[in-house]
Structure formats: structure tokens, C-alpha cells
Chains A and B, each alone.
Chain A
Amino acid sequence: MGIIKKLPIYSEKFPGGGIVTTSLEAALNQGRAKSLWYLLFGTACCAIELMCTGASRYDFDRLGMIFRATPRQADLILCAGTITKKMAPRLRRLYDQMAEPRYVIAMGGCTINGGPFYYDSYSVEKGIDHIIPVDIYIPGCPPRPESLMEGCIHLQEKIKKQKLLDWQEK
């Protein structure tokens, strides 16, 4: 980890600046963390905030997050919005279609536990962790763009701590 932080200093000192020595793990993690392409999976209100985050003022791209419309090209499902019982099998299928390593962010109360529909809605899935594993939970109804971005930064931190064999073991 330490080497990553000091990387700019080291690389300048090398003649030509081309060669860096690091562990394979750190290099891979750095690559994964800094270009997280997310699957645009907006189903309800939270999707509007997701769009705001992606647009001019909040500029999601600077975290290396670019939206993809197909799960095959995405590393991350940013699950924004209510998941109903009818939608749940589709979410599972999209998750299965993604290439490993894959991550999930649950954005908003609905994806955490059903949110405002927790008590008495007959058709809302009470939390997406019944369907797919979740890495980061972002509370709010809807969460502000800032908290969404903070959630993504936390995910990047988490990715950087990954071990090389983490995904093979599963």
C-alpha cells in the first residue's frame, strides 16, 4: 500500500520515469479501484440523484466512474432505487452476467431494507442483500450526491485492501 502513495515521487527519480517496482497485488488493486465502471441500474427516485451525480456539478467521472449500459462491461452495480419482487430475478441475472471481480453498492433506504416501504408494502423486496452480496450501503432517501461519492471512495479503499486470491477462493 505504502508504495502506491509514494509512487509519483519514485517514478520521477527513475531515469526516464518508466520503471516502477511494486507488488502485483497493489498494481492490480490500483487499476481496479481507479476505474470503476458502473452498471446504470436506476429503478426509482434514487436514480435521479445518481444522474445528478453523473452530471455537471458533481462530476462523477473524476473518480473514474463512468456508466455502462451493459453488465458485461461493468465492474460495479450501483443499485439505485426500489427493487420489487418482480424485479429481483432480473437483478440477480445482471449480477451473474458481470465478470469478476464485481462489486455492489446499495444506494438508498429501499435497497438497504425496503426504506419507506418496509412495514406494509406487499411487493417490495426488503433489502437487496437477500438477492446479491453488497459491499457498501449508502443510507438516505435519496442519499445526496456527496454521500454517494463518499460511498464510492470507501469502496475504492476497500478494493485497495483486497488480496490477490480473494476472488479465486469463492
Chain B
Amino acid sequence: MRELRTEEFIVNMGPQHPSTHGVCRLVLTMDGEKIVKIEPVIGYLHRAIEKVMENRTYSQCIPMMDRVEYVTSMSCEYVFSLATERIAEMEVPERAKYLRVIMLELNRIASHLLFYGVTAMDIGALTPFLYGMRERELIIDLFEMTCGQRLTYNYIRIGGVSKDIPKGFEQKCRSALKVIAEKMSDYEGLLNENPIWLKRTKGVGILPKELAIAYGVSGPNLRASGVQYDLRRNDPYCIYDKFDFDIPVRYNGDCFDRYILRLDEIKQSMRIIYQALDGLPEGDVKNKKVKLTFKPPAGETYTRIENSRGELGVYLISDGGKKPLRVKTRGASFNHVQILPHFSTNMLIADLVANFATLDIIMPEVDR
């Protein structure tokens, strides 16, 4: 039979599109229903954070880091503080380390809950969004109780954390985790065996392992493709080597695996928080030597940690002055947007949305 071909045409998706998570623009070349070529256009949220940080003192940089990746701001603050501490070779009190771990893991859960809701909404199920956001509020309450902010915390500072947790935090944290643990079965019940959900995600958007490594994919997306690589285990920072937790891995690399892996991670994060709460020592929460006009010695380092999206890194250069010479941030989403054209062609637009959503891309990390 003669092969039929239709004329190619171009569809513009974004920058104002509810399922591009912010302001990513994709220029799609279509052949009928199939996508032939994808060209991501980024930069709609380029806020010049790197340039701005060269103009601020070290302590002023931390609020700017919050805005690099606002869904898990705690890890952004943490990675900058850690980089500075490594350059200054500074000690951090033990209690502060535990508090940092608790906050980082709580933030990871909050981010994954947001992922759960938003991804389901993008694929067409509205209820999970309300469920996910409901439990997220419990965690946000804990943050608000500790530092007064709901989103951009400025809690983890150079040399420790800004203040100790208030009375009653521990108990409230435990009860919040208990609620979330109970609700996990609701989450799984809503989607895991839902035939529409399975049709939309199983076998869709398979990301092969080799391609993932070559393009620098990291975090849950890499682990869903069968690579057991988690910086909390492979390049331990803070006190993660003291805790007992598993690294979930999945092997198909499709949208369903990327989704289910994040639910598994929530459970592991809860395990870590329980252990940290149990072992929380008494003492100071801040290194007293750090002043507002703190000057680390000259030096440079690339520091990376595992946040909910993957590898979050900072290349920090200090020339011994009050302000950093250069802060280069590396967000996992930068690579995830970059790889999108390489494994999402030859599929339908609806599947592209599923793909985009399960990669858990967030734009400020890409544009900075």
C-alpha cells in the first residue's frame, strides 16, 4: 500500500500553559497526531539570580537561593550553606545537623506531594490534587511554626540554622507524619490500579538508562530507569550516613515508574525523619563565630546534594571578600528539559504532557 503522509505543521505550547509547570515553551512539529520534533524554548523566567548573588554578601545570598528552586527551598539554602562551610572548613553543631536533616526530608515529602497532585491534574484527574495539597499543608504548618514562612524559608543559614524548633514541634511533626502515612494508602488506591491512569502512564515515555546517564538525568528519574544512584548514599553529606533507609529503584523507566518511585521515596523520607527525631541531641543550633559580614577564605568547590528532583549543585568561588566571586547553580530540571526532545518524539501530545509532568520539571531551576 502506498504510504500516506500528511503535511507537517507547527504547534506552539506555552509559555503560558497550565501543564508546562510555569513558563516553558515547547515548539512542536507535528505530523498529524504524532510529534516529529520538539524544540524547548526556555528563558522566560531568567531572573539573573547568579548575577544578583555576585552582588550580595554571603548571608544575603541565602534568600536568593530560596528562589532558585522554591518547591524545595530548604535544600537550596542547605547546598549554599554547605558549600560555604566546606570552603571555610567550619564546624556545625550536632543539633543543627539533625534539624537540617528533618527539614530537608520534610521538604522532600512536601515536594513529592505537590508532584503527586500536579501530575495527576496534568494527566486529567482532579481529585488527587486536592488530596496531595491537603497533606502538604500539614508540613507547611510545621515550617511556618519553625521559621514563620510558608514557602521561602531562609531557615538554614551558614553555620547552622536560624533558630531552634519551637516547643511542641516534635509532637506535631510525628502526628503529621502519622496522618500522611495513613493517607498514603488513599493515594495509592486512587491511582495505582486506576485503568485510565495505567493506560496513560504504563509504557509511555520510556527513558533508557544509557541515554539518561549521557544526558545527566539524576534523582528519581534516573532511579526509575534502573540506576541505583542517590547522593545521600553515594556521596554522603550532612549526617545521612547515620540513618537507615532504602533507595527505591524501578527498572522500566516509563511514566508509571517515575510516579510510583516518588511515592516510595515519601515512605523512606518518613523513616529518616523518625530516626532523626528520636536521636535529636541537645545543644546549640548555630556556630557562634559566623557574623553577618562573614568572610570565608579564598577557595572554590562544587557541592552537590540530592533534592527531590535530582542533583542540586552549587559551584561557589570565594576570593576572600565579603561577596562571592561566582555562584553557579546546577538544577536537575535543566538536564531534564534538555533531554525531553531525545525521547519524547513519535508520541501524542497528550503523552508528552504525561512525560513532562512525571519528569517533575520546575522552571526556575532551568532559567535561574
Contact = CB atoms under 8 A, between A and B. Distances in A.
Decide whether A and B are members of one complex.
Answer: yes
Interface of A: 40-45, 47-49, 51-52, 55-57, 69, 81-82, 84, 86-87, 90, 94, 116-117, 119-124, 141-142, 144
Contacts of B71: 48
Contacts of A81: 22, 45
Interface string B173-203: 0000000000000000000000000000000
Contacts of A124: 47-48
Interface string B8-38: 0000000111100011000000000000000
A44 B51 contact: no
A45 B70 CA distance: 6
B134 A116 contact: no
Contacts of B43: 84, 86
Given A48-B71, A56-B137, A116-B63, A142 B150 contact: yes
B16 to A, nearest CB: 6
B47 A82 contact: yes
Nearest to A68: B18
Given A40-B18, A116-B63, 20 more contacts: A44-B70, A44-B364, A45-B67, A48-B70, A48-B151, A49-B150, A51-B118, A52-B133, A55-B117, A56-B131, A56-B137, A69-B18, A87-B45, A90-B44, A117-B48, A119-B52, A121-B49, A123-B46, A124-B48, A144-B150
B287 interface: no
Contacts of A44: 22, 45, 47, 67, 70, 364
A57 B15 contact: no
A96 to B, nearest CB: 13
B45 A43 contact: yes
Interface of B: 15-18, 22-23, 43-49, 51-52, 55, 63-64, 67, 70-71, 114, 117-118, 129-131, 133-134, 136-137, 140, 150-152, 364
A144 B140 CA distance: 12
A120 B51 contact: yes
A82 B47 CA distance: 8
Contacts of B45: 43-44, 81-82, 84, 87
Contacts of B47: 44, 82, 84, 117, 121, 123-124
A119 B54 CA distance: 13
A89 to B, nearest CB: 11
Contact of A45 (B129, B133, B134, B151): B151
Given A47-B22, A87-B45, A123-B46, A52 B152 contact: no
A77 B43 CA distance: 22
A100 to B, nearest CB: 20
Nearest to B41: A86
A140 B52 CA distance: 20
Contacts of A41: 16
A82 B52 CA distance: 15
A90 B70 CA distance: 23
26 contacts: A40-B18, A43-B22, A44-B22, A44-B45, A47-B22, A48-B70, A51-B118, A52-B140, A55-B129, A55-B133, A55-B134, A56-B130, A56-B137, A57-B133, A81-B45, A82-B45, A84-B44, A86-B44, A116-B52, A117-B48, A119-B52, A119-B55, A120-B48, A123-B46, A142-B151, A144-B150
Contacts of B23: 43, 87
A144 B137 CA distance: 13
B280 to A, nearest CB: 28
A57 B71 CA distance: 18
Contacts of B117: 55
Contacts of A51: 114, 118, 133
B221 to A, nearest CB: 21
Contact of B15 (A52, A87, A141): A87
Contacts of B64: 116
Given A52-B137, A56-B133, A121-B51, A84 B46 contact: yes
Nearest to A55: B133
Contacts of A123: 46-48
B234 to A, nearest CB: 30
